[in-house]
């Protein structure tokens, strides 16, 4: 049912709830066609709010009965809400019983209670609980839950919910039941149930404080051998949170359950995390190193939510970054601490910054730009964004930078001391960090610092240096500004920690020059005395703030930084800047041939052959900035031109360094028995890049040896990383062997859904060297393994084409955009959340050159003109078309 009402929800309209729900007893009679839900609540009026009707949220429910204190009562419905006016007037508690039914098997939105491969799952965040029963579906209403599940014992032998299993037994008619009690109060978005045929890997552990816990990872029978890494990641997460933040597990039992039908990565339901299989299942034969790393980080992320999100939750959904930004920060730190030494930490930091700059910076500059704490929304699901998550994490990271690692840990302790068991705001968080560090820069500048929460847009920091040789003085001037964003024309200065240091031209760091400058005015000057010769500034070390740094570096300066900076992040950044300069100059010149000069190629060769640098770091330096990142630097983007120039750069890098690539491959391809650790995965990554380059070079030279070797590698590989890298090298270079390799790959993995996703994604993301991509994508939609209903599969084919393959998607004949608009509409009828994500693929249409710009606008307008769009998609397309 589409209501078609678009209500804008505003942060400033927040009002405390008129009623509290203290406890909930839920009884489910699970049936895919018609599940019966009995909801017995104990409520009381909130004495601090004027007496008013009780309005409960509901969606797609069939209401059968409402009882107040056991008696029938009058009620009405207003839109989706159930309204009760004649409630007991005293503020004493009263019982409310509501009986409804719903149809899980018809639930294709995957919000609320649904069925995936014969198993029941729930997803309640943000507003899915209202699709299960009538409730005050808002995070500041926290209740105690008792849940009884009843179902057919054969079909649903495993019955799970939050907390502790207190009772179970058989019922008549082949049914059975299980009763769960959650010892912790929680908002309803953290409720979960799972019922089906599942098996579990189990592990009993004893925490530092002596408490014993049972850990379980539930999967479908047959997948148990792919759960070891997830379990190890969970144990590592528990140990890390105890060690770094003194936060223990507060439950006897902690469960993870995997499902293949899931809208996002995973969900932190109290004690019963539900995960996309993509972030649980791994074996060396089916998962790549990147998958292993993602599993570690998502398992960590959901586990860390147990404190940052569950014990202390959000007052309202505008505060989403309170839990998400903080928990991303925690999972990033976790992965970094696990990576160990400095170079591996830097690799993780570079990867995280790359995500921020290629996904969040464009968001911040486009029609969906919003502050880390948004001011309004139509559909909250549209605000689970890279801004709330990744920029939110950077905002937390800056708070750590401004208070020190120890100071920040003290701040976290104070935050829990003050707010455990509460639903709070981003202000409460920053206040606790500042109050625990009264003499810090954060405390001094707190009101201004909090502009990071309220102002959208990516700030720019322009740096200028002046060297006075006579006085041996170097003056660095830093100026900040921030472009306007929709609804925010003027921006006030941010508090920007700029970590920096100075190098002499020979690469030696000037002693005492390293520091963190806190830029809080529009402009500031930093003076360095006793500087013997003109220095090279290394600015924004470690990417100390989520800003665009402008400094007019010469090639010589960048080469110095690339070769010598003590900060590995800035070494990488110097390489990226060298490449970007060349890309931009070539794009501007109109020519495409030979974008790379000897200076750049020599520098890259030196990095590749460097005796000390890590393989993982080399792989990052030798990877060119993405087309998306290059496009963001331009006022007007011709995606075909960006694509052609970057491909020319890649081709040149491949050809001119081919002996070095061959050397790199021979040096790194053998990584021994498979282990997904930082060192060996770094070696595999570099060997993979080398193969890709060697296949690319072979196109020019007519060499048949390397493609042949690559094909052999594809066939013999002992792990998915090597196998997939070899396959990708053939596909991306458009080699004739790719066809056969793709077929073999499919035959080998036809029963492995997650591997088939890779197979679809690789073809949809392929370069046009192998032929026209769009017809191939359309053909793949007819493949028996394709289905639009499974979000992973839809993303693997459609998103890989529309969002991750700009060279193939932006076609002069507009066929890519037509395809996009058709899929958005088709998906919207099934699953609006997934559709709205796809709808964002054309966010940056205003930047496009003609004829793309006009065609893109038309495609968006076509979607917007559809009368019964979901709120999700409508919000995205109407913001895209807004004149601002
Ligand atoms: N909190 C969930 C996201 C829920 C998204 C709802 N549309 C996963 C996470 O961030 O851990
Ligand atoms: Zn999260």
| pLDDT tens figures, 315-348 | 999 999 999 999 999 999 999 999 988 899 999 9
- Residue 519, C-beta contacts closer than 8 angstroms, at least 6 positions apart: 461, 478, 480, 493, 494, 495, 496, 497, 498
Euclidean distance between CA atoms 203 and 317, whole angstroms: 35
**Residue 302: CB within 6 Å of ligand 1?**
yes
Whole-number Å distance, alpha carbon 325 to ligand 2 midpoint, is 8
CA dist list (Å): 775 to 727, 768, 803, 813: 21, 11, 17, 13
Q: Which overall architecture, per CATH, does domain 313-454 show?
A: Orthogonal Bundle (1.10)
SS3 222: coil
DSSP strand pairing (460-468 vs 548-550): parallel
262-277 residue pLDDT tens: 999 999 999 999 999 9
Atom from ligand 1 closest to the CA of residue 381 = 7
Annotated active-site residue 302? The verdict is: yes
Domain range annotation of the chain? 1-102+121-197, 313-454, 460-552, 755-884
Euclidean distance between CA atoms 669 and 681, whole angstroms: 10
Whole-number Å distance, alpha carbon 207 to ligand 2 midpoint, is 24
**Residue 390: CB within 6 Å of ligand 1?**
no
Euclidean distance between CA atoms 452 and 392, whole angstroms: 9
pLDDT at residue number 529? 98
Euclidean distance between CA atoms 843 and 857, whole angstroms: 10
DSSP at 330: H
Q: Which of 126, 328, 384, 385 to mutate to test the pocket of ligand 1 (most atoms within 8 A of CB)?
A: 384
Whole-number Å distance, alpha carbon 413 to ligand 2 midpoint, is 20
**Phi, psi for 728 (deg, rounded to 5):** -65, -35
DSSP at 100: E
Q: What are the residues whose beta carbon lies below 5 Å from ligand 2 (ion)? A: 324, 327
CATH superfamily of 460-552: Aminopeptidase N, middle-beta domain (2.60.40.1840)
**Residue 267: CB within 6 Å of ligand 1?**
yes
- Residue 612, C-beta contacts closer than 8 angstroms, at least 6 positions apart: none
- Nearest listed ligand to the Cα of residue 837: 1
Residue nearest to atom 10 of ligand 1 (CA): 324
Whole-number Å distance, alpha carbon 321 to ligand 2 midpoint, is 9
Of 219, 214, 311, 220, nearest to 268 by C-alpha is: 311
Euclidean distance between CA atoms 448 and 435, whole angstroms: 15
**Residue 264: CB within 6 Å of ligand 1?**
yes
**Residue 400: CB within 6 Å of ligand 1?**
no
pLDDT at residue number 2? 42
pLDDT at residue number 1? 37
**Residue 494: CB within 6 Å of ligand 1?**
no
Answer yes or no: are the C-beta atoms of 226 and 281 closer than 8 Å. Answer: yes
Maximum Cα–Cα distance for the chain, whole Å?
95
Whole-number Å distance, alpha carbon 266 to ligand 1 midpoint, is 7
Residue nearest to atom 9 of ligand 1 (CA): 267
Query: Which listed residue (302, 573, 627, 752) is catalytic?
Result: 302
Ranges of residues in the chain whose predicted pLDDT is under 50: 1-3
Check for a shared fold between 1-102+121-197 and 460-552: yes
SS3 23: strand
**Residue 126: CB within 6 Å of ligand 1?**
yes
Domain 755-884 has CATH 2.30.40.10: no
- Nearest listed ligand to the Cα of residue 268: 1
CATH superfamily of 1-102+121-197: tricorn interacting facor f3 domain (2.60.40.1730)
């Amino acid at each position: 049912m589409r209501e078609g009402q678009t209500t804008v929800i505003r942060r400033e309209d927040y009002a405390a709830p008129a009623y509290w729900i203290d406890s909930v007893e839920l009884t489910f009679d699970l049936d895919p066609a018609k599940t019966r839900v009995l909801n017995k609540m104990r409520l009381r009026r909130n004495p601090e709010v004027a007496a008013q009707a009780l309005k409960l949220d509901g969606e797609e429910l069939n209401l059968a009965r409402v009882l107040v204190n056991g008696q029938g009562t009058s009620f009405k419905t207003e839109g989706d809400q159930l309204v009760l006016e004649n409630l007991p007037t005293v503020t004493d508690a009263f019982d409310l019983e509501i009986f409804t039914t719903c149809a899980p098997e018809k639930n294709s939105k995957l919000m609320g209670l649904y069925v995936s491969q014969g198993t029941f799952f729930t997803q309640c965040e943000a507003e899915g609980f209202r699709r299960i029963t009538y409730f005050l579906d808002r995070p500041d209403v926290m209740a105690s839950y008792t849940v009884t599940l009843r179902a057919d014992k054969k079909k649903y032998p495993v019955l799970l919910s939050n907390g502790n299993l207190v009772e179970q037994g058989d019922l008549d008619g082949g049914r059975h039941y299980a009763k769960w009690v959650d010892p912790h109060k929680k908002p309803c978005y953290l409720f979960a149930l799972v019922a089906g045929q599942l098996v579990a890997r189990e592990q009993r552990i004893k925490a530092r404080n002596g408490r014993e816990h049972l850990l379980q990872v539930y999967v479908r029978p047959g997948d148990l051998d792919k759960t070891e890494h997830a379990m190890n990641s969970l144990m590592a997460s528990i140990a890390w949170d105890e060690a770094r933040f003194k936060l223990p597990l507060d439950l006897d039992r902690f469960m993870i359950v995997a499902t293949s039908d899931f809208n996002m990565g995973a969900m932190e339901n109290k004690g019963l995390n539900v995960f996309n299989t993509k972030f649980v299942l791994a074996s060396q034969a089916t998962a790549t190193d990147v998958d292993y790393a993602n599993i570690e980080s998502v398992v960590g992320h959901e586990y860390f939510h147990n404190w940052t999100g569950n014990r202390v939750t959000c007052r309202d959904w505008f505060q989403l970054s309170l839990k998400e930004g903080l928990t991303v920060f925690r999972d990033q730190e976790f992965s970094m601490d696990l990576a160990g030494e400095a170079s591996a930490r830097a690799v993780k930091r570079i990867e995280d910054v790359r995500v921020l700059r290629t996904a969040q910076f464009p968001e911040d500059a486009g029609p969906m730009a919003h502050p880390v704490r948004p001011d309004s929304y139509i559909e909250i699901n549209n605000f689970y964004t890279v801004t709330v998550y990744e920029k939110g994490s950077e905002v937390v990271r800056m708070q750590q930078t401004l208070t020190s690692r120890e100071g920040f840990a003290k701040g976290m302790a104070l935050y829990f001391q003050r707010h455990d068991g509460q639903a709070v705001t981003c202000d409460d968080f920053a206040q606790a960090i500042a109050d625990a560090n009264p003499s810090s820069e954060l405390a001094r500048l707190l009101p201004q610092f909090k502009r990071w929460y309220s102002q959208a847009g990516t700030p720019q920091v322009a740096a200028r240096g002046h060297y006075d040789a006579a006085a041996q003085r170097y003056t660095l001037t830093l100026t900040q500004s921030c472009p306007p964003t929709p609804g925010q024309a003027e921006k006030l200065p941010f508090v920007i920690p700029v970590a920096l240091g100075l190098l002499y031209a020979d690469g030696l760091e000037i002693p005492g020059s390293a520091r963190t400058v806190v830029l809080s005015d529009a402009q500031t000057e930093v003076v360095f005395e006793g500087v013997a010769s003109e220095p090279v500034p290394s600015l924004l070390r470690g990417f100390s703030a989520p800003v665009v740094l402008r400094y007019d570096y010469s090639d010589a300066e960048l080469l110095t930084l690339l070769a010598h900076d003590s900060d590995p992040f800035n070494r990488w950044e110097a390489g990226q800047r060298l490449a970007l300069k060349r890309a931009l100059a070539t794009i501007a010149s109109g020519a495409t041939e030979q974008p790379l000069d000897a200076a750049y190629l020599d520098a890259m060769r030196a990095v590749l052959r460097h005796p000390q640098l890590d393989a993982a770091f080399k792989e990052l330096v030798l990877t060119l900035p993405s087309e998306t990142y290059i496009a963001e630097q331009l006022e007007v983007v011709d995606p075909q031109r960006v694509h052609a120039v970057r491909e020319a750069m890649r081709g040149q890098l491949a050809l001119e360094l081919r002996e070095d690539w061959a050397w790199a491959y021979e040096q790194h391809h053998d990584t021994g028995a498979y282990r997904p650790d930082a060192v060996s995965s770094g070696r595999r990554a570099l060997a993979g890049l080398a193969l890709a380059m060697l296949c690319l070079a072979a196109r020019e030279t007519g060499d048949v040896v390397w493609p042949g070797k690559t094909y052999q590698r594809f066939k013999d590989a002992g792990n998915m990383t090597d196998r997939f890298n070899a396959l990708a090298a053939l596909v991306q270079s458009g080699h004739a062997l790719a066809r056969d390799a793709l077929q073999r790959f499919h035959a080998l993995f036809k029963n492995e859904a997650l591997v088939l996703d890779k197979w679809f994604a690789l073809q949809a993301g392929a370069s046009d060297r192998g032929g026209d991509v769009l017809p191939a994508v359309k053909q793949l939609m007819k493949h028996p393994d394709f289905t639009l209903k499974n979000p992973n599969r839809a993303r693997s084919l459609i998103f890989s084409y529309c969002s991750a393959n700009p060279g193939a998607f932006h076609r002069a004949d507009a066929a890519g955009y037509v395809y996009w608009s058709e899929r958005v509409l088709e998906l919207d009828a099934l699953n609006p959340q997934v559709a709205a994500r796809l709808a964002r693929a054309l966010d940056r249409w205003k930047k496009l050159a003609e004829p793309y710009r006009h065609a893109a606008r038309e495609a968006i307008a076509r979607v917007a003109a559809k009368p019964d769009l979901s709120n999700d998609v409508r919000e995205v397309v109407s913001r895209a078309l807004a004149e601002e």
